[in-house]
């Protein structure tokens, strides 16, 4: 049996605002928007290459601790391939995603950096070397 990645799930105090940022910034598509019986707003999205990303609010009575976009144990970040990392860093800073680290370069010419997305989500940008 193959182990296919099913989805990524982000929690937010304001799911609508968070989803709008991901739609406007990385062209996510909204697939469904519901309020579940557990009281949380649950918005299903899909990235341009088809990865399901769910964004939901707290359950009824649930308090979410603040996010942390720093390096940490556990789920640390997820990444996007980009064509021009310098242009993306500028674009994302204007959209409220400041640069956290980098850009750095590997010996093969791969460039990468991390930015802080809404809700303190850590996002890596990767520019692969031209062939």
- Reported as a pLDDT band with limits 50, 70 and 90, residue 90 is very high
In a domain, 61, yes or no: no
**1 found inside a domain:** no
Instruction: Say how many domains are in the chain.
Output: 2
Same domain, 88 and 50: no
We report the CATH number of the domain holding residue 118 as: 3.10.180.10
- Which residues fall within 8 angstroms of residue 3, CB to CB, at 6 or more apart? none
Say what the pTM is: 0.87
44 and 83 belong to one structural domain: no
In a domain, 66, yes or no: no
Residue 13 domain boundaries: 8-56
Q: Are residues 83 and 117 in the same domain?
A: yes
Residue 61 per-residue DSSP state: T
pLDDT digit string, tens, across residues 97-120 = 999 999 999 999 999 999 999 999
- pLDDT tens for each residue of 62-88: 999 988 899 988 888 889 999 999 999
φ and ψ at 86, to 5 degrees? -65, -45
64 in a domain, yes or no?
no
Q: 3 in a domain, yes or no?
A: no
Is the peptide bond prior to 65 cis by the omega test (within 30 degrees of 0)?
Answer: no
Which DSSP helix (H) or strand (E) runs through 103?
strand 99-105
Q: Which residues of 6-31 are buried (b: 16+ CB within 10 A; e: fewer)?
A: eeeebbbeebeebbebbeebbebeee
């Amino acid at each position: 049996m193959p182990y296919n990645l099913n989805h990524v799930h982000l929690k937010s105090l304001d799911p609508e605002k968070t989803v709008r940022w991901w739609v406007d910034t990385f062209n996510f598509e909204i697939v469904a928007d519901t309020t579940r019986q557990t009281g949380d707003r649950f918005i299903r999205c899909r990235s341009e290459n088809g990865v399901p990303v769910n964004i939901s609010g707290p359950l009824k009575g649930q308090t979410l601790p603040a996010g942390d976009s720093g390096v940490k144990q556990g789920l640390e970040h997820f990444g996007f391939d980009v064509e021009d990392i310098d242009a993306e860093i500028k674009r994302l800073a204007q959209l409220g995603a400041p640069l956290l680290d980098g850009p750095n370069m590997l010996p093969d010419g791969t460039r990468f950096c991390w930015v802080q997305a809404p809700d303190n989500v850590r996002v890596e940008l990767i520019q692969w070397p031209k062939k």
